[in-house]
Amino acid sequence: MNLIDAVSRNYFIKELYPNGLIEDMLIGRIGFDCDNKFCVNFHTKQKPVKEVEKWGIWGENYDVVVICLLGQRVKNVVISNWDRISFAPVTWTGEGENMTFHTSGDDWEVSLTFGDLVFQECRTYIW
């Protein structure tokens, strides 16, 4: 399982990355709201297969795509040493109605178990 498989309304992301997101990602934002909802932004340096005209040219106008998602039904959260987070592999697992993503480095870790993720938008920037 990868991010694309875990997300509802993933048509646009599938067009950008038909072979999946296989490179390291950075969790650039994670926030929790009332009613057991959350938002998470995954940053990837993986070049999209499809060009998006309004974004410009890869490597010139942007070299990172931010995938913004909303989720619900948070179960478990682990965040340690958030100030040290960086690009790293993200693993995805699913069990029953729950999914989990996990990423870590030498001295940091982020893991979240939840029920649903829904695609909201993509943004871009130069790293």
pLDDT digits (tens, 9 = 90+) for 66-107: 999 999 999 999 999 999 999 999 999 988 889 999 999 999
Joined together, the tokens standing for residue 46 give 């993986």
Q: Can you give the pTM of this predicted structure?
A: 0.95
Q: Which amino acid is at 83?
A: D
pLDDT digits (tens, 9 = 90+) for 104-127: 999 999 999 999 999 999 999 999
pLDDT at position 95, please?
83
Q: Mapping DSSP to helix (H, G, I), strand (E, B) and coil, where does residue 45 land? A: coil
**Other Cβ atoms closer than 10 A to 120:** 13
For CA atoms 85, 88, 48, 22, the dihedral sign is negative
As a whole-number percent, the residues of the chain with pLDDT over 70 amount to 100
Phi, psi of 66 (to 5 degrees): -105, 125
Q: Please give the Cα distance from 55 to 104 (Å, whole number).
A: 30
Calculated CA dihedral for residues 90, 27, 102, 55, nearest 10 degrees: -30
pLDDT tier, 2 (very low <50, low <70, confident <90, very high otherwise):
confident
